[in-house]
């Protein structure tokens, strides 16, 4: 863009604090929000009093990329692949614990969608972050976790990798099928990173920023770095971005409706 950029990490609230702050900033093209669908679809479902409207309080610019969670199990579980795990879980109802990073987290939704589609009854065990959850999977307290940061444990052979939650394979594991490809047809929880501005961003500024994203994502070095983080690069129009938010939010509402006791906080 021809000028320096300052990164202002607004910690807290799973990204909610930073997102809310951007809604109060001037729509001049100098105040932008890089966030995940956690703040724009998941919170729309899990938060009863969200302080902003994920669509109407922002100007969409472009999706950056998508990624999935990695479904891994403790290696003592007698299952070498997804098909064997589903059979084992169906025969051991309410005896398998899956860890998550908290109520209403992406990891929680991944487990509940799995239960619904595979007709299993894994027990949800929420933690304060995926790190403690992974530690208890390694210790055998829980048997399963859906964790995007599981590559280190997979590479070390400490967990068994069953597949990715997204519709496309993780670029770090091109030979590992998705859960849908492995037999749970139609399973898809894809996570994304996107760029927004405050509401009221001028159309010409929006277009210039969207074009800059497209140019950046075409850079081989950018592709290499983001692929190395497990991300599949997308780029999109603002209209495609809004459609993604609407469709995904309704999908998450349907999953949440199946969770015993509800999920809103």
Q: Three-state DSSP class for 87?
A: helix
List Cα–Cα distances, 113 to 14, 17, 251, in angstroms: 21, 28, 10
- Summarize the confidence of residues 93-118 as an average pLDDT: 95
pTM of the model: 0.91
- Residues in the chain, total: 265
Instruction: State in Å, rounded, how far the first CA of the chain is from the last one.
Output: 40
DSSP code, position 111: H
Mean pLDDT, rounded, of the chain: 94
- Summarize the confidence of residues 12-20 as an average pLDDT: 86
Percentage of the chain modeled with pLDDT above 70:
98
Residue 265: band (very low, low, confident or very high) from pLDDT cuts 50, 70, 90: low
Tell me the per-residue pLDDT of 170-226, one tens digit each, with 9 for 90 and over: 999 999 999 999 999 999 999 999 999 999 999 999 999 999 999 999 999 999 999
Distance CA 59, CA 207 (A): 11
Contact indicator for 54, 40 with CB cutoff of 8 Å: yes
Closest CA to 1 of 208, 226, 233: 208
**Which single residue is written with the structure tokens 């604090």?**
17
Output the pLDDT for position 75. Answer: 97
Tell me the per-residue pLDDT of 139-162, one tens digit each, with 9 for 90 and over: 999 999 999 999 999 999 999 999
Output the pLDDT for position 23. Answer: 95
CA angle 246, 104, 107 (to 5 degrees): 95
Residue 10: band (very low, low, confident or very high) from pLDDT cuts 50, 70, 90: confident
Output the pLDDT for position 2. Answer: 72
DSSP code, position 252: H
**Strands (E) located in the chain:** 33-36, 58-67, 70-73, 97-100, 123-126, 144-146, 160-164, 191-198, 232-233
Residues 6 or more apart from 223 whose CB is under 8 A from it?
Answer: 217, 233
Alpha carbon 260 to its chain centroid, in Å, reads 22
Domains of the chain: 13-66+191-256 (3.40.190.150), 70-164 (3.40.190.10)
Alpha carbon 27 to its chain centroid, in Å, reads 27
**Which single residue is written with the structure tokens 């459609």?**
243
Q: Could you give the count of Cα atoms lying within 13 Å of 82 in the half-sphere of its Cβ?
A: 21
Residue 264: band (very low, low, confident or very high) from pLDDT cuts 50, 70, 90: low
Tell me the per-residue pLDDT of 35-90, one tens digit each, with 9 for 90 and over: 999 999 999 999 988 999 999 999 999 999 999 999 999 999 999 999 999 999 99
What the block records as the tokens of 253 is 């509402």
Residue 114: band (very low, low, confident or very high) from pLDDT cuts 50, 70, 90: very high
Q: Which residues pair with 196 in a beta bridge?
A: 33, 60
Q: Three-state DSSP class for 99?
A: strand
How much helix, strand and coil, in percent to the nearest 5, is found in the chain?
40, 15, 45
Closest CA to 85 of 184, 16, 174, 178: 184
């Amino acid at each position: 863009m021809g000028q320096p950029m300052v990164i202002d990490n607004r910690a807290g609230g799973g990204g909610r604090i930073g997102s809310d702050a951007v809604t109060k900033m001037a729509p001049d093209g100098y105040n932008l929000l890089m966030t995940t669908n956690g703040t724009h679809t998941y919170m729309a479902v899990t938060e009863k009093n969200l302080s902003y409207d994920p669509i109407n309080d922002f100007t969409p610019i472009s999706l950056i990329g998508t990624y999935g969670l990695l479904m891994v199990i403790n290696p003592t579980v007698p299952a070498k692949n997804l098909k064997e795990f589903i059979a084992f879980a169906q025969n051991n109802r309410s005896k398998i614990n899956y860890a998550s990073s908290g109520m209403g987290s992406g990891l929680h939704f991944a487990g509940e969608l799995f239960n619904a589609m595979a007709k299993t009854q894994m027990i949800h065990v929420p933690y304060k972050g995926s790190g403690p959850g992974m530690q208890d999977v390694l210790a055998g307290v829980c048997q399963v976790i859906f964790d995007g940061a599981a590559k280190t444990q997979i590479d070390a052979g400490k967990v068994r990798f069953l597949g990715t939650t997204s519709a496309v394979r993780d670029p770090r594991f091109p030979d590992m099928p998705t859960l849908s490809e492995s037999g749970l047809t139609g399973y898809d929880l894809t996570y994304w990173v996107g760029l927004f501005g405050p509401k009221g961003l001028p159309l010409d500024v929006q277009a210039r920023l969207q074009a800059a994203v497209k140019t950046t994502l075409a850079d081989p070095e950018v592709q290499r770095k983001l692929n190395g983080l497990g991300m599949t690069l997308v780029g999109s129009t603002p209209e495609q971005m809004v459609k993604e938010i609407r469709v995904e939010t309704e999908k998450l509402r349907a999953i949440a409706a199946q969770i015993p006791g509800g999920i809103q906080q």
